[in-house]
Amino acid sequence: MSNPSLLILAGDGIGPEVMSQVQRVIGWFGDNRGLNFDVSEDLVGGAAYDKHGVPLHDDTMAKAQEVDAVLLGAVGGPKYDDLDFSVKPERGLLRLRKEMDLFANLRPAQCFDALSDFSSLKTELVAGLDIMIVRELTSGVYFGEPRGIFEEGNERVGINTQRYTESEIERGARAAFDLAMKRDKRLCSMEKANVMESGILWRQVVTEVSKDYPEVELSHMYADNGAMQLVRAPKQFDVIYTDNLFGDILSDCAAMLTGSLGMLPSASLGAPMDNGRPKALYEPVHGSAPDIAGQGKANPCACVLSFAMALRYSFGEGGEADRLEAAVEKVLADGVRTGDLMQADGGTPVSTTEMGDALLAALDASL
């Protein structure tokens, strides 16, 4: 049987720096766990624009459609700020998401014990936190028609339309229930059924889907209450399923409960491919961090943890994903910190490569 395939798109700024550490981790799994991947690399974002005049070449798009998973670093940077909207680096990422039809965005908010004092909340509220937010990514108010700024009488009116079909709600719900089955079997669906018809439909469809998942305990919450509960008592949640707009806001809010952008992975999943696994793009939540790019300061953990998600959701290697996450936990517990994880009271930060060294040593120790 051929090896699973992985397309690496390191992108811009700190993207290539953090990705080089992930490449070492991938190599480690090949050398030590017999897990070999057919890894190919290509350009995205500003790097692709510099070479091809577009932020994602058609050939790269075609490759992304064929592989088992895509791992992306970050795109963007000040050099590209004045480009036309149609060729901005971010358009490369949007094209990948759109053409791969990645409708479920998975954003874990997991608090590593060693970093619990980094949260803006009290340590006891976040220690051991482990939430997964599933955000519907390809529909809702960001895409609904009509949209635009129109003249009405003697003033302008801005219009966006919240629109969800049953099937759009359903496929995301199934992804969320499947995840809940692999976790603590609790799912909280969030909408505004009190004031929005799309919310009423959302609640109905999620309830219908739940009949296929009798083991999962389903609850419903208005999204504004959800925001309050996330900062009041975040550990009450296991999996949260919500729409594109609410998910955008709630997932950022939940992510910050855990402290640093440099620690946050994400996955975007689409429909199952012939092998039964979903189309998938894995990427850190952070951007290209132009303020520290090229200085060897970036924290590679978010990108490494994105690869751990790929191990779990694309390659069926949950045990190895646990091993990698435990290595990150150990390194942090040992006090190894990149600059973004330093407290005001000092210490010496390690470089991106030194963080990679520490991760590999922790992986060695796990054998």
Q: Which two tokens stand for residue 41?
A: 């690399």
Contact yes or no for 73/92 (Cβ under 8 A): no
Per the annotation, the verdict on 252 as an active-site residue is yes
Choosing from 12, 68, 248, 340, the catalytic residue is 248
Whether 11 and 47 have beta carbons less than 8 Å apart is answered as: yes
Q: CA-CA distances (angstroms) from residue 320 to 8, 115, 179, 363?
A: 20, 23, 18, 10
Residue of 88, 192, 297, 330 marked active site:
192
Nearer to ligand NAD, 41 or 178 (CB): 41
Residue ranges with strand state E in 256-360: 265-272, 278-284
Which listed residue (224, 291, 334, 364) is catalytic? 224
* Least spacing, CB of residue 62 vs ligand NAD, in Å: 21
Residue 329 beta carbon to ligand NAD: minimum distance, rounded to whole angstroms: 17
Strands 5-11, 69-74: pairing kind? parallel
Q: Minimum Å distance from CB 256 to ligand NAD?
A: 12
CB of 308 to ligand NAD, least distance (A): 15
Which tokens hold the place of 70?
């895509």
Q: Which residues bind ligand NAD (CB under 6 A)?
A: 14, 18, 74-77, 90, 93, 261-262, 283, 286-292, 298-299, 302, 338, 340
Tell me whether residue 100 or residue 187 sits nearer to ligand NAD (CB atom).
100
User: Between residues 172 and 262, which has the closer beta carbon with respect to ligand NAD?
Assistant: 262
To ligand NAD, the closest distance from the beta carbon of 275 in angstroms equals: 27
The Cα–Cα gap between 133 and 136 comes to 10
Report the alpha-carbon distance of residue 357 to residue 23 in Å, rounded: 12
In the residue annotation, 142 being an active-site residue is answered as yes
> Whole-angstrom Cα distance, residue 232 to residue 259?
16
In sequence order, the β-bridge partners of residue 188 are 219, 240
Q: How far apart are the first and last CA of the chain?
A: 26
In the complex, the smallest distance separating the C-beta of residue 351 from ligand NAD, rounded to whole angstroms, is 11
Q: Which is nearer to ligand NAD, 110 or 299 (CB)?
A: 299
Of residues 139, 138, 207, 144, the one with CA closest to residue 177: 207
98 is catalytic: no
Catalytic residue among 79, 130, 142, 357: 142
- CB-wise, 46 or 199, nearer to ligand NAD? 46
Residue 345 CB neighbours (<10 A): 5
Which of the residues 101, 113, 252, 322 is marked catalytic?
A: 252
CB-wise, 77 or 226, nearer to ligand NAD? 77
Is 192 known to be catalytic? yes
Residues involved in catalysis: 142, 192, 224, 248, 252
